[in-house]
């Protein structure tokens, strides 16, 4: 059995990301198939996939995930910049917020993705920034929390989205930061982690949001770095990957590895949370590479050997071995490798989940030290 490659197939992943919003009509397939380089795979027909339309509400997020991964892999120009900017402009609503796609309702999640993209491109001049500031400010509640949209869902994710967005816009003065810090601190638990709301169980994704928000506003003194660091390092499982919370995805059948929720799954939320608290040394970086570049195993039913998360044919990275690749996990797989110091990748900023050179260009200080 051929062992999976022990290198990141960057060129293949770049082509995968470029193919995600394309369509090859059946009339042109014969011409494509006749080319010598054709491998039998038809990776360009994405708009003809059911999954493409079922994820329409994530289109703006997908642009952010893809663009950031491309920049980290030194291929930011793989997407047509002017087309991306025009698309984002068309997604802005009169109230200043952005929808996940054309004619979709505005939400903080999508608004942050748009700001991240435009800051990466250095094109904030392409939108009405004052309206964005007004929109984000309108979603803050008296207790300091933020609702994601007009329908009122509240959790720590939206606090991070609001703070990150306003920081990138240099308009933190427009919101009540001390109140938001108070809400985030109330989401902290006895184990050092953070939940989605006060009283909710700790989860690594919420740790990223809580610690990231506190880092941006220079409030990391509220974090017990050693306690949180140990909680995070205990998320690392036998295969090197990390889960999101205790006892999630145990060994199946006694032989298969802990495959889901690895550093690829929501890699930056696990891995960068340790980096934010300056306790990333607690995580075994070598074994963390295994979910993406699996070492050969003897067991014939080992999914890591049969199909690693890195798709070696069509490109992209999946959440765990055996699953289909997607652009979300492709970004966080690449970002996790960047945090591990993988050669050939640009450095990712663990607070903003953006290329570090972009954050340095806009003059946002790195304050995430405890």
More confident residue, 151 or 270: 151
| pLDDT over 50 (residue 125) | yes
112-116, 147-151, 365-369: least confidently modelled range: 365-369
Structural domain boundaries, residue 334: 224-370
Cβ-based neighbours of 37, under 8 Å, separated by 6 or more: none
- pLDDT interval class at 278 (50, 70, 90): low
Distance CA 29, CA 26 (A): 5
With H, G, I as helix, E, B as strand and everything else as coil, classify residue 92.
strand
- Of the two residues 287 and 346, the one the predictor is more confident about is 346
In a domain, 112, yes or no: no
Pick from 33-42, 153-162, 307-316: least confident: 33-42
Q: Closest Cα partner for 65 from 260, 268, 226?
A: 268
Write the pLDDT tens digit of every residue in 189-233.
Answer: 999 999 999 999 999 889 999 999 999 999 999 999 889 988 888
H or E, element range at 354:
strand 354-355
Whether the per-residue pLDDT at 42 is higher than 80: the answer is no
Among 18-32, 109-123, 244-258, the range scoring the smallest mean pLDDT is: 244-258
Residue 91 counted as domain residue: no
Mean predicted confidence (pLDDT) in 301-312 = 56
Structure-token match 């309702």, residue found? 105
248 in any annotated domain: yes
pLDDT at 19: 87
Mean of pLDDT values over 140-144: 97
User: What pLDDT, on the 0 to 100 scale, is given for residue 275?
Assistant: 57
Residue 11 lies in a domain: no
Closest to 261 measured CA to CA, from 230, 288, 295: 288
Q: Is residue 341 part of a domain?
A: yes
Round to whole Å and give the CA distance between 337 and 352: 16
The reply to whether the predicted model has a pTM over 0.95 is no
CA distance 257 to 250: 8
| pLDDT at 84 (0 to 100) | 94
CATH number for position 230: 1.50.10.20
Q: What pLDDT was estimated at residue 309? A: 80
Number of domains present in the structure of the chain: 1
pLDDT band of residue 322 (cuts 50, 70, 90) is confident
Using CA atoms, how far apart are residues 357 and 361, in angstroms rounded to an integer? 6
- 250: buried, middle or exposed (CB in 10 Å: 19+, 13-18, 0-12)? exposed
pLDDT band at 248 (very low <50, low <70, confident <90, very high): confident
Q: Would you say residue 8 lies in a domain?
A: no
**How far apart are alpha carbons 130 and 138 in whole angstroms?**
12
At residue 238, the pLDDT reads 76
């Amino acid at each position: 059995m051929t062992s999976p490659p022990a290198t990141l197939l960057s060129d293949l992943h770049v082509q995968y990301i470029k193919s995600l919003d394309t369509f090859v009509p059946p009339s042109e397939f014969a011409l494509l198939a006749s080319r010598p380089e054709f491998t039998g795979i038809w990776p360009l027909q994405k708009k003809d996939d059911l999954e493409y339309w079922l994820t329409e509400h994530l289109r703006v997020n997908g642009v952010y995930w893809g663009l950031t991964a491309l920049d980290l892999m030194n291929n930011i120009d793989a997407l047509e910049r002017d087309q991306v900017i025009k698309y984002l402009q068309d997604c802005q609503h009169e109230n200043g917020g952005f929808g996940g796609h054309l004619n979709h309702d505005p939400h903080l999640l999508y608004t942050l993705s748009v700001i991240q993209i435009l800051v990466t491109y250095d094109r904030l001049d392409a939108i009405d920034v004052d309206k964005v500031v007004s929109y984000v400010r309108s979603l803050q509640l008296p207790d300091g929390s933020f609702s994601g949209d007009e329908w009122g869902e509240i959790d720590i994710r939206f606090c991070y989205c609001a703070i990150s967005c306003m920081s990138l816009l240099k308009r933190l003065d427009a919101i009540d930061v001390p109140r938001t810090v108070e809400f985030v601190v109330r989401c902290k638990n006895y184990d050092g982690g953070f939940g989605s709301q006060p009283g909710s169980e700790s989860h690594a994704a919420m740790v990223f949001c809580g610690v990231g928000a506190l880092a941006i506003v220079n409030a990391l003194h509220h974090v017990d770095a050693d306690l949180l660091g140990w909680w995070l390092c205990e998320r690392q499982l036998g295969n090197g990957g990390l889960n999101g919370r205790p006892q999630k995805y145990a060994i199946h059948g006694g032989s298969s590895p802990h495959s889901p929720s690895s550093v690829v799954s929501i890699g930056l939320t696990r891995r960068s949370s340790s980096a934010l608290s300056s306790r990333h040394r607690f995580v075994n970086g070598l074994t963390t590479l295994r979910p993406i570049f699996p070492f050969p195993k003897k067991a014939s039913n080992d999914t890591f050997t049969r199909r690693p998360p890195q798709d070696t044919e069509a490109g992209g990275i999946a959440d765990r071995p055996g699953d289909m690749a997607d652009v979300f996990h492709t970004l966080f797989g690449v970002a996790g490798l960047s945090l591990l110091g993988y050669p050939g990748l640009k450095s990712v900023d663990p607070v903003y989940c953006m290329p570090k050179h972009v954050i340095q260009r806009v003059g946002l200080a790195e304050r995430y030290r405890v």
